[in-house]
Amino acid sequence: KLVTAKRSQASDVTWGCGYTGSAEKTQYTASSFVRTYRKLAEPVLMIKRKKNEAAGLYPDRISQATHPYDKIEYWLIDKPLLFIRSFLKRFTFLQNGHIQAYILYGFVFVGLTILLPVIVEKIIELVNFLNQL
């Protein structure tokens, strides 16, 4: 302590892995290697970044995550699937677990397949009759 008492002591963060430079670009990470390609693809990607900065000499936890997501996939696949799912959720009451209801669904289906052609034929006859008037 006698030797260092007159000198000023400097402290720096301990999480930098020994790197003391100020430019983050010069640290080699997976993101820095693909940065040029990511910049090219950025118009068609939605990039979500989550970063917890380090604070103090001994930070509790730091993290950085980058998640690219394809905009084309979002608009052409995910959005239509969300619409289809929300439409099909309206019919979940049919799947109620009662065997009697399932048997009734079968009878209704058979009845509709028999009656539907007859009903369509009668509608066509009615339209033809109205056209003759």
pLDDT in tens, 86-110: 999 999 988 888 999 999 999 999 9
Give me the pLDDT at residue 119, please.
95
Give me the pLDDT at residue 5, please.
72
> Which long-range contacts link 34-42 to residues 24+ away (Cβ below 8 Å)?
38/68, 41/68
CA distance 11 to 14: 9
Reply yes or no on whether the pLDDT at 33 is more than 80.
Answer: no
Residue 26's pLDDT band (cuts 50, 70, 90): low
pLDDT-above-70 percentage for the chain: 80
Higher pLDDT, 92 or 64: 92
Higher pLDDT, 15 or 4: 4
Q: What share of the chain is helix, strand, coil (3-state, %, to 5)?
A: 55, 10, 30
Q: Is the dihedral of CA 52, 56, 61, 65 positive or negative?
A: positive
Mean pLDDT, the chain, as a whole number? 82
Average pLDDT over every residue of 65-84:
90
Average pLDDT over every residue of 6-33:
63
Residue among 29, 10, 30 at smallest CA distance from 20: 10
What are the angstrom distances between the C-alpha of 41 and each of 20, 45, 47, 68?
31, 6, 10, 10
Going from N- to C-terminal start, the domains of the chain cover 1-70
DSSP state of 112: H
Residue 75 main-chain phi, psi, to 5 deg:
-80, -30
SS3 category, 17: coil
Q: Which residues pair with 67 in a beta bridge?
A: 48
H-run or E-run covering 72? helix 71-73
Average pLDDT over every residue of 3-18:
65
